[in-house]
Amino acid sequence: MTPRSQVAGCGAYLPERIITNHELAGRLDTSDEWIRLRTGIGERRVAAPGELTSDLAVRAAERALSAAGMSGSDLDLLILATATPDNTFPATATKVQARLGMRHGAAFDVQAVCAGFIFALSVADNALRLGQARTALVIGAETFSRILDWDDRGTCVLFGDGAGALVLRAVPAAQPGGRFILSNHLHSDGRQYDILYVDGGPSSTRSTGVLRMEGREVFRLAVQHLSSVVDEALTANGLTAADIDWLVPHQANSRIIDGMARKLGLAVDKVVVTIEHHANTSAASIPIPASYRPSSLAANPETKDTSWNVPSFLFKNRKFGHESFAIAISIQPSLLKSASTTPIPLASGFPTPDASLTSVNVPSWLLRKSLIRCPL
């Protein structure tokens, strides 16, 4: 019987340095009110000098492995999604591999910007289904602060640094309960290459460059495509929008997801949002909200201990023992289906989604989605 990919654990990490909207307003023509109204962002995290993408990735990976009850030596495959690698080569994933103590299997990077995590998840899922690996670690990690023009208020206010990770293990498809990836649907449209890009690279300029964006065009295309890709994900699994209990969006822009949620007929309290606390972390934007538990920050402000937990908060306040569905979207929807009667301890303190913070916006030529089955 063909094995399926079960989600064994997840974790995330944000750098300690916080840049608030008020701090940016002190040197840019902007304000906290202007940023919140247009994006839902209140602050972003920035990596410390000398803190690399690999450092963020390792911290998130360690937490994911701990949640799964595994160590690096248990892994057969490690895929790191990032647009901000430590070096052009070797792959940043190999640095993470060495630091985690993974001594066999393969480790490599995937570069698909905000779509990267779902692309990487799809590759890992296929490897487990084909028997090429038994356990896989998928990481999204970015230090976007290093490729921003901090004098451009149209882009620098939108992004932040961070990392998130998910551990997968192959299990028999007939195994009851569990968190299974049901299917993957990947899309790209190269015609939109120039609406969100970095104006540098080894082959073109021999330099890194900085992020450039046509914000209105990205917004327009995102709104146009979001509902259609959600419909594709639902149709592939014989579901409708009425079956969805939770929408977990890529954390980038409040107005886009708010509009899409209205199209789907989803109530605001069904949308999970964390963008206020970390801005758009690109490839890390899906696994971070899947692991987020801010209560420890509130309880332990002096230590700045950013704690994380299994994505069980997705089902908070739901009744156990019935079919429950959640869909996570970053222009790519991810559908989580639950049929288990065994509850997972809920992450405490997760903020109630607010209409003004419902968020998503991403390179619109990257449309990707992953369907995941999770037990309550």
- Map residue 11 onto helix, strand or coil: strand
The answer to whether 10 is a known catalytic residue is no
* Contacts of residue 33, Cβ cutoff 8 Å, sequence gap at least 6: none
Q: CA-CA distance, 346 to 336, in Å (whole number)?
A: 16
Write down the catalytic residue from 250, 253, 309, 361: 250
DSSP 8-state assignment for residue 344: P
- Parallel/antiparallel/unpaired status of strands 333-338 and 366-373: parallel
Catalytic residue among 21, 184, 280, 361: 280
**How many residues belong to the chain?**
376
* Distance between CA atoms of residues 102 and 62, nearest Å: 12
Q: Catalytic: 114? A: yes
- How far is the C-alpha of 26 from the C-alpha of 165, rounded, in Å? 34
Question: Exposed e or buried b for every residue in 38-66, given b needs 16+ CB within 10 A?
Answer: bbbbbbbbbbeeebbbbbbbbbbbbbbbe
> Active site includes 374?
no
Of 83, 153, 143, which is closest to residue 112 (Cα–Cα)? 83
Out of 10, 21, 114, 277, pick the active-site residue.
Answer: 114
- Which residues belong to the active site? 114, 250, 280
